[in-house]
Structure 1
Amino acid sequence: MEKPVVLFSKSHYKGKEILLVGFTHNSKLYEYLSKYDGIFWSKSLKSFYLPYSRLTTNDLFQYLRKEGYFIDYSALKSKLTSVKNIPLGKKVMLSQQIADKDEYKIESFTKWMAQKRYSENTINTYESMLRIFFRFHFPKSVNEISDSDVLRFNVDYIMANRFSYTYQNQMINAIKLFYRQQGNTTLIPENLERPKRSKKLPEVLSIEEVKSIIQNTINLKHKTLLSLLYSCGLRIGEALKLQIKEINFERRFMHIKSAKGSKDRYVPIPKQMIDLLINYLDSYKPSEFVFEGQNGGMYSAVSARQILKRSLRLSSISKQITLHTLRHSHATHLLENGTDLRFIQELLGHNNPKTTMIYTHVSTTSLDRIKNPFDDFDI
């Protein structure tokens, strides 16, 4: 029997923002969700719910994925910042069904991505998005969907729900890759156009704010993790996958393997970070990964986000910060200290120099040198 799709959405209940967890009736799923700590069943809402936060949403997502359930979290995606003069469509409801032959094709596609060494996160995201796409078009099957159907999906689902540029672009990526792999269909992947990118700058912390976060992280393991993310500009996935054997303490380098784009790189480690790592490894004695869970194995990203959230609260920093902000801040501070952009590109593992160029817009060093004529006014 096919497992039901679980729908995540936000709502308000008894004056608080909640995460609604919807699905077609299934006793096995009901029993499994009932065991999740902190979740409630509401007779009036006819749904499970729990207090909304990104941390609880991610944790519940992983809990459901362990048992192979598919989650439609599209309703939680960021809304468009401006919707003036944009045709929003008629908001078509999704079917709960996908044709059996399309189920098989999606499963084959995910296996193909796995053997091509796509990341687990990309595989899960594309699989989830393709299920949304084919539920929208049901009863049409893979070979019956055309370019014009994709246009209708963009207008009547993505635009009608005011989903973000990022979500739309990811969806196009998933559809293009899937149909390229299928071949000989009525939909031509090369005809699919991407949305115009909005030019948003990343949030960046000051050096003082980074110091405050690290100083307010008391636990040695937690302090070491946040310090490594900032001092070496790592993505959280790179830090969690890092193995002890991939650190050369004498040369003060680490070997980051199979990073984004399946790209390896060497990253220098500052001396103070080396001292912190040695202290941490001597104290915790992990066996394989630098950061491990209580029962061994790789430390979870959910736990890492909780660490940052706690440290932000203790530091009285109210900015919308993520673990990736530490990487952005590292790159910006390097640029402000005079590091050449080409070196920053290598350190961060960017394939395209345009990606690194974004930090020239965030850095305040060059802006501070501009003499404003208002400074000469006699007020």
Structure 2
Amino acid sequence: MTEISPLRRRMIDDMTVRNLSPATQRSYLHAVTKFSRYFGRSPDRLGLEDVRAFQVHLVSSGLSWPALNQTVCALRFFFGVTLGHGEIPERIAYARTPAKLPTILNGDEIVRFLEAVPSLRTRTALTTTYAAGLRASEAVHLKVRDIDGERGIIRVEHGKGGKDRNVMLSAQLLAILRVYWRLARPEVWLFPGRDETKPIDVQVLYFLPAVRRAPRPASTKG
């Protein structure tokens, strides 16, 4: 049976006292052992610069960021708790979570999403936002007069940076807006709120309830 060193035993006792799970204990011990073997010395004879060099090695080896941070947790525990070097743990940096690109809906998914919005006004406001490349705050503040069907443009007042600008109005969006206008008959604001003297609240577009994809109706034969 392999004899456990006093240092290893002390770290195990420290983790046990703090009620770390068996899986976490195994992970921490593995990380500290790997750290020690990398330099060929007992870990209590290593310092912060060695930790940094070890982190560089792990990053260059392609280790995932969760595994990197697990190692950081283990080394912070070892130096801070087992060795009592309170000044070292805070100087051992965690790996930053890599930024991920947001999921982009394809054309069919966007159409299904918009079709699932029950309110004509909200659905048209969302469609305008997407089709014209507007910010939600810009779309809700559009006025009926801002839609210039003859020139094929939308006038955006006080947009990004407080500046006015014109954006392209496609024939498809113009057709959708004409149908909307015939049904809703907005007077001043293109998308009025409950109080028609004010535009629709932008929060309606920002925090729409989650829309579930409706199941496709079963085909019937008749």
Larger Rg: 2
Question: What TM-score do the two structures reach when normalised by structure 2?
Answer: 0.49
Question: What TM-score do the two structures reach when normalised by structure 1?
Answer: 0.30
**Structure 1 or 2: more strand by fraction:** 1
